[in-house]
């Protein structure tokens, strides 16, 4: 089975490297030269472009930052759908809205090509370890056909329903991440201003019903004031916007999601869009007239 991969970013590169480790033959296309060289060193081959990649591969995976990038790579005349052979399986790991997935699925079906939306969760560390959560929408028979490919990159791989279902699940996941992150920062600010020991608070919360994955992962990084980008604020802002649009389409207003979106918007307005999502701390500190951890805390 010949695989292709488009988009060797902080998530895509380690996912592609895990496909190589699993023994798959892999061709790659990406905008940045450095990641391509890393993939080539690990045994991949470089394709001349999207059209050449699609024509040569049985399965093509993509991991791209923005919905516009996804539509361009899949749907433009030199894109994957137009040049994939009938029977080819296209798998998108990007975070986009379900309508985008259904649009690509319809175009693929018209050419006898299969499409799965399969966004991932777990961050760069999960991508490197091959332990991602992968949430999949599309035909179950196609999902089962490419299950070995997905299993090479993820630990929790779940088929959720027809086209767009994976995107729905991913937007729900990322809205919860944004909500939990804002709530954690707000409550740490309350604890700090109340004068309690924050390390002690973290310890007791980790043994209590307030425990969460966000608390476990984010508290040490908040304490270190580590805003190096694992997941950029501008990307979470995009995901929250898409999640709120999706919720509104189903007649649901997410007030907590709106608060999380406002926190990312404030960070974006402060010029922190390319910093980690934890940079939402800085405007919230200004609003509370205090500083967590470090000098001046």
Query: What residues are labeled active site?
Result: 170
Tokens of 280: 């939402």
Other beta carbons within 10 Å of 124 = 16
The span from the CA of 251 to the CA of 243, in Å, is 12
Exposure string for 274-289, b = 16+ CB within 10 A, e = fewer: ebbbbbbbbbbbeeee
Q: Is 204 helix (H, G, I), strand (E, B) or coil?
A: helix
Q: Cβ neighbours of residue 14 under 8 Å, at least 6 residues apart? A: 124, 127, 128
Nearest residue to 132 (alpha-carbon basis) of 143, 124, 140 = 124
CA geometry: angle at 174 spanning 3 and 266, to 5°?
125
């Amino acid at each position: 089975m010949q695989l292709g991969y488009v988009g060797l970013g902080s998530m895509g590169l380690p996912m592609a490297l895990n496909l190589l480790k699993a023994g798959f033959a892999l061709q790659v296309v990406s905008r940045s030269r450095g990641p391509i060289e890393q993939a080539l060193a690990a045994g991949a081959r470089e394709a001349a472009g999207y059209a050449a990649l699609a024509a040569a591969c049985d399965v093509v995976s993509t991991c791209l930052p923005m919905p516009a990038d996804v539509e361009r790579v899949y749907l433009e005349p030199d894109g994957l759908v137009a040049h994939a052979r009938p029977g080819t399986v296209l798998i998108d790991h990007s975070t986009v809205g379900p309508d985008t997935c259904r649009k690509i699925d319809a175009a693929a079906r018209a050419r006898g090509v299969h499409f799965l939306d399969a966004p991932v969760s777990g961050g760069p560390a999960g991508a490197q370890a091959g332990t991602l959560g992968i949430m999949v929408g599309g035909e179950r028979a196609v999902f089962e056909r490419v299950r070995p490919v997905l299993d090479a990159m993820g630990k929790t791989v779940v088929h959720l329903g027809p086209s767009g279902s994976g995107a729905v699940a991913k937007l729900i996941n990322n809205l919860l991440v944004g909500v939990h992150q804002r709530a954690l920062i707000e409550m740490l600010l309350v604890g700090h201003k109340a004068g309690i020991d924050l390390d002690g608070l973290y310890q007791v919360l980790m043994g209590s019903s307030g425990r969460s994955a966000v608390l476990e992962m984010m508290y040490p990084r908040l304490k270190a004031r580590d805003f190096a980008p694992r997941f950029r604020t501008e990307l979470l802002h995009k995901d929250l916007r898409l999640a709120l649009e999706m919720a509104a389409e189903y007649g649901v207003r997410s007030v907590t999601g709106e608060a999380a979106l406002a926190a990312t918007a404030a960070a974006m307005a402060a010029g922190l869009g390319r910093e980690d999502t934890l940079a939402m701390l800085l405007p919230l500190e200004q609003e509370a007239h205090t500083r967590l951890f470090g000098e001046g805390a």
